[in-house]
Structure 1
Amino acid sequence: MTPAAGGARVVVVGAGVTGLLTAVECVLAGHRVTVLDRGAIPDPGSTSHDQHRALRTLMVGDPAATRRMGAAHRKWQELEPVLGPGFYRQVGVVSAVPRERLAEVVRFATGAGVPVETLLPSALPQLGFPAGTAGVREVRAGVLLAGRVLRAAARWLAARPASAALRPYSPVAAVDAAAGKVTLAGGEVVGGDLLLVAAGPWTGELVGRPAVLYRQTMVYLRPGRRQARRWRYAPAVGGLGADGRAWVVPPVAGTLLKVSSDAVCRQVADTDAGAEDQVPWAERLAQAGILRDPAGYEVVAVRACHYAADTAAGGARLERVGPAVWARTACGGSGFAAAPLVAAAMVEAAKEAAA
């Protein structure tokens, strides 16, 4: 695909899911895109990179957020024919809720147009539901194969050199929000009609916006033979463990079972996890009552991941920081799921910039 006459020149800083999907959508709309990243493209060390992420729509008590995530779900489905099928598995997402709230949650979901069904903890005997809870399963939700998404987007862009330039190992040293330009570490200046800074934890630093950095420990497990049968068609599940703060993403399409909890999320000063011992955090997860038979699983990997939250908004926010400059702070799994919405917003901004 060649860029349309009059298309905008778009510069994207950061080749995570937000940056790559924005580049894809902008190319589809006839714009020319340059993607800069400090590492490889895609970068296995980026905050977006993982085996899989849950994709759900239902945000109980927040109709606007539910509509927004419904729109994101549709955008992901529209991307499959573009990037290639197979990166989304509609296995469902279950939330553990107090039994006295089941009717309320089902009413909200019905009013929001989100199909759900209730289930007892006995339907998922391998998992530790908090006492007095049951599950609400969002039947159209599922799991995104995150690593596959990033690789597919990078390949799609690389196959269109007339419209997309991928520049790995090009760290950005400074962003001029007023001029819409970036200066690379080697001194080169790169500019365009529109600039998106989506560099994960480094976004706030580049655009001068305060952000809080968090680290979370993930444990990746391989179920034993007896447990594997129970995981064959299992959904992603949240609200698990004795404190109701844990979640699991099932082993689909050859991935491992992923376990973590909000209880092991902590604020940190930087992304250097090398000096921190992850074993105590992994042991804390093992003792949280997430899995009924933890001894029946093999621990394959323990990983520390990072995400940043906008200090003012408390999450991931797309913000205009200059006449032609936008910034988006990374926000873990929810940021990954909502990335197509950012891409759509940037296509509109590119259209305006090209006018």
Structure 2
Amino acid sequence: MLKVIVVGGGIVGLSTAWALRRHGAQVTVVEQGSLPNPLGSSVDQHRLIRYAYGAQAGYCRMVREAFHAWEAVWRDLGARLYSETGTLVLSGPGDAWAAQSRAVLDAEQVEHLAFDAETVVGRWPMLAGAGLGEAYYCPSGGLLFAEAIVAALTVHLRDRGVTFVTNAAVRGVDAAAGAVTLADGTRLEADRVLVAAGAWTSQLLPDLAPVSRPSRQVVVYLAPSADLVAAWHAAPMLLEIGAANDAAAKGFYLVPPRVTRDGMRTGLKIGDHRFGPTADPGADREPRQDEIDAILDNARHRIADLDQYRVTQAKTCFYDVEADERFQLTPLGPRGFAFCGTSGHGFKFGPIIGARLAAVLLEKAEVEATARWAAGHIIDVPASASDSSG
């Protein structure tokens, strides 16, 4: 039986453990905090899954596979921790992201409907149509309830024999021996080691700093006026990403509130996908007022009467950034690998990333081909290598 140590209890680490257990491997997950870890990048109320991906056709294509993989997760968990919202893509002057996304959606035959500004404001009166360049709606896309998923996966995996070592920081990785050393000096050994430490990757593996920059990101939760609550609960997610290389562009994403069948309530959240400053993910996590104001300013042109909304909460999370937003699978030695560079869009792919990484660890898939796939290049990986049906 193959023994694997997974460093990191976020969605990538847990998904890999899930896929490995389906193939009979013995897995130990080491997490520096509790599970779910409130400082981790895989928590907060929700993460988005959607087809619109700018010009990155490889990731758009991977979304279809990800939707199927999540169905396997829901079956194993006995709960569907997802809400379909649809995806509204908007653009302002000089923003090519929406047009690039539309071209890829056409090529990949993903359903989407074009709207003009009058239609947008007519259907969603809480939005402003001024300066709107392009608008289209995809019926697909929705909210993955991130913290609930991490918690449920942890329970599921523990029940199926995965060992969890929590509140235990890793201080060293010996990829030649398949071992890790904890902060208290404990040495854990296995046949393989996978480092999936998110924003902490560059602290543990400094050589990966060029493809794993910890980027400080702030998200803001809002309460609309009472007359808009029902409209927001029926609204789609909204992507007005903005011109990525233009610091003056007003881009943001919006996550609508939802009440799930089991009574879970999630809030109206806005954030800016563009990368923030490099910072220590374990240091000051309290959002500053100027960071909150910057998020609100980005959305003010599109959310009508935004000043009438009340800020209920602001949070700081960290992206694990690769400059081109391409996931990185890196061999560390004969028995070790690292996966990083998820750049704020890795959660949606958790189950398919876990399946591919498990195939590599089990020597059922080629490392180079899997690395190219993870980086969003459109290539064919044999189905047998990525099968997680177990």
1:216 matched to 2:210? The reply is no
CA 1:310/1:178 → structure 2, altered by over 3 Å: closer, same or farther? Answer: farther
Distance 1:206 1:60 in 2: 32
Amino acid at match of 1:343: G
Could you tell me which amino acid in structure 2 is paired with residue 234 of structure 1? A
Which protein is richer in strand relative to its size?
1
Shift of 1:146: 0.6
- Does the C-alpha gap of structure 1 residues 129 and 152 become closer, same or farther in structure 2, counting only changes over 3 Å? farther
Within the alignment, does 1:46 sit opposite 2:40 as a pair? yes
For structure 2, the 5+ residue unaligned runs are 243-247, 260-264, 365-390
| 2:135 equivalent to 1:135 | yes
Paired residues of 2:286 and 2:315 also in contact (CA < 8 A) = no
Counterpart residue type for residue 45 of structure 1:
L
**Per-residue displacement from partner, 1:179-203 (whole Å, max 9, x unpaired)?**
2210011111112122111111111
- 1:248 partner letter: L
Q: Identity across aligned pairs (percent)? A: 28
Is the contact made by 1:9 and 1:194 (CA closer than 8 Å) also made in structure 2? yes
1:262 Cα offset (Å)? 4.0
Matched, 1:166 2:158: no
Partner of 1:226: 227
> Is this contact kept in 2: 1:33–1:165, CA < 8 A?
yes
Match of 2:316 in 1: 304
Preserved CA contact (<8 Å) 1:96 1:133: yes
Change (3 A) 1:59 1:286: closer
Deviation string for 1:38-60 (max 9, x for gaps)?
A: 10012111111110111012324
In the alignment, is residue 16 of structure 1 matched against residue 10 of structure 2?
Answer: yes
Indicate which of 255, 258, 262 corresponds to 1:252: 258
Partner deviation per Cα, 1:214-249 (whole Å, 9 max, x = no partner): 111110122331111111221111116893411101
User: Contact 2:179–2:190 at 8 Å: present in 1 too?
Assistant: yes
Cα deviation, residue 147, structure 1: 0.9
AA partner of residue 186 (structure 1): D
Residue in structure 2 matched with residue 86 of structure 1 by the alignment:
80
Residue 350 (structure 2) pairs with residue 339 (structure 1): yes
Q: Alpha-carbon deviations, 1:284-338, whole Å to 9, x = none?
A: 2223314212243221111111112236x65432222222211122535411112
Change (3 A) 1:21 1:57: same
Give the TM-score of the pair, scaled to structure 1. 0.88
Counterpart position of 1:157:
157
Deviation at 1:350, TM superposition (A): 3.2
Give CA-to-partner distance per residue, 1:88-138, whole Å, 9 cap, x none.
Answer: 111112211369988886554233021112233212222345613232222
Worse-superposed segment, 130-139 or 109-118: 130-139
The unaligned stretches of length 5 or more in structure 1 are 1-6
Paired position in structure 2 for 1:291: 303
RMSD of aligned C-alpha atoms?
A: 2.6
- Alpha-carbon separation, structure 1, partners of 2:58 and 2:287: 40
The Cα offsets for residues 76-97 of structure 1, whole Å up to 9 and x where unpaired, read as 2321111232311111122113
Is the Cα–Cα contact under 8 Å of residues 26 and 33 in structure 1 kept in the other structure?
yes
**TM-score, normalised to structure 2's length?**
0.80
Q: Which deviates further from its counterpart, 334-343 or 239-248?
A: 239-248
Partner of residue 108, structure 2? 112
Change beyond 3 A, Cα 1:133–1:85: farther
Mapped to 2, the partners of 1:351 and 1:38 lie a distance apart of 25
Using the TM superposition, give the Cα deviation of residue 141 of structure 1 relative to its aligned residue in structure 2, in angstroms. Answer: 1.2
Greater shift in the superposed pair: 230-239 or 84-93 = 84-93
Assess, with a 3 A threshold, how the Cα gap between structure 1 residues 184 and 240 changes in structure 2: closer, same or farther: closer
Q: Aligned-pair distance for 1:351?
A: 2.4
Amino acid across the alignment from 2:278: V
Asked whether the 8 Å contact 2:90–2:132 carries over to 1, the reply is no
Partners of 1:47 and 1:273 in 2: CA distance: 14
1:145 deviation in Å? 0.7
Equivalent in the alignment of 1:279? 289
* SS of equivalent residue, structure 1 residue 267: coil
**Mapped partners of 1:80, 1:277: distance in 2:** 34
Q: 254-263 vs 54-63, which deviates more?
A: 54-63
How far apart are the structure 1 equivalents of 2:223 and 2:157?
34
